[in-house]
Amino acid sequence: MTKYVEWFLVYCVTGWLYESIWCAMIDENGGFINRGFLYGPWLPIYGFSMLIIMCVIWKLKIKKPFFIFLTGAVLSTTAELIGSYFMDWLCGGFLWNYSNFFMNFQGRIALKPAIMFGLLILGGVLVIHPKVTALQKKYKDSIVHKILFGIVTLAFVADLAISLIVKT
């Protein structure tokens, strides 16, 4: 179970880094924007999404990089579309707007973000995940690893609890 929580947290942070860099690049002021609901450097949607997409890729035994990319792009874009409708229904709007992007649908999804998500998933499956699992195997019995894992997990849970209390 610990390895899945670690994977989740790694992809939450990776997603936060991606979103922070991406938004700083496209922001006219070039400023930092915390794209998440939480205070810390994590976006849980990336953690959950990456775990689900990786499970699909593993279950279907997809090995070729092009098909990993394509599967990731299609699944993440589909999730983004469904998520936008769910957020519309629940909150009266969604948190992004791709209206100015080429080949967009109602500002909810677009070609460029789909390609970016596909590339992120390709990098996650082929580069990041093997490195994370190698580190997990190497340090699984290390007390430092266990303490660090505990601290990061507690920080995430505390951030989640505080954010839900303060922001709702």
Integer Cα distance of 91 and 110 in angstroms: 22
Give 106-132 pLDDT, tens digit per residue.
999 999 999 999 999 999 999 999 999
Contact 159, 40 (CB under 8 A): yes
Chain mean pLDDT for the chain: 89
Q: Which segments in the chain show pLDDT lower than 70?
A: 26-31, 167-168
Residues with Cβ < 8 Å from 55, sequence gap 6 or more?
A: none
pLDDT of res. 9: 96
How many beta carbons lie within 10 A of that of residue 36, not counting itself?
Answer: 21
Domain count, the chain: 1
Integer Cα distance of 88 and 151 in angstroms: 35
Work out the percent of the chain whose per-residue pLDDT is above 70.
95
pLDDT of res. 168: 62
Bridge-based pairing of strands 109-110 and 104-105 is: antiparallel
Q: Domain of residue 160: give its range.
A: 2-167
- pTM (2 d.p.): 0.83
pLDDT of res. 35: 72
Integer Cα distance of 62 and 141 in angstroms: 31
pLDDT of res. 26: 65
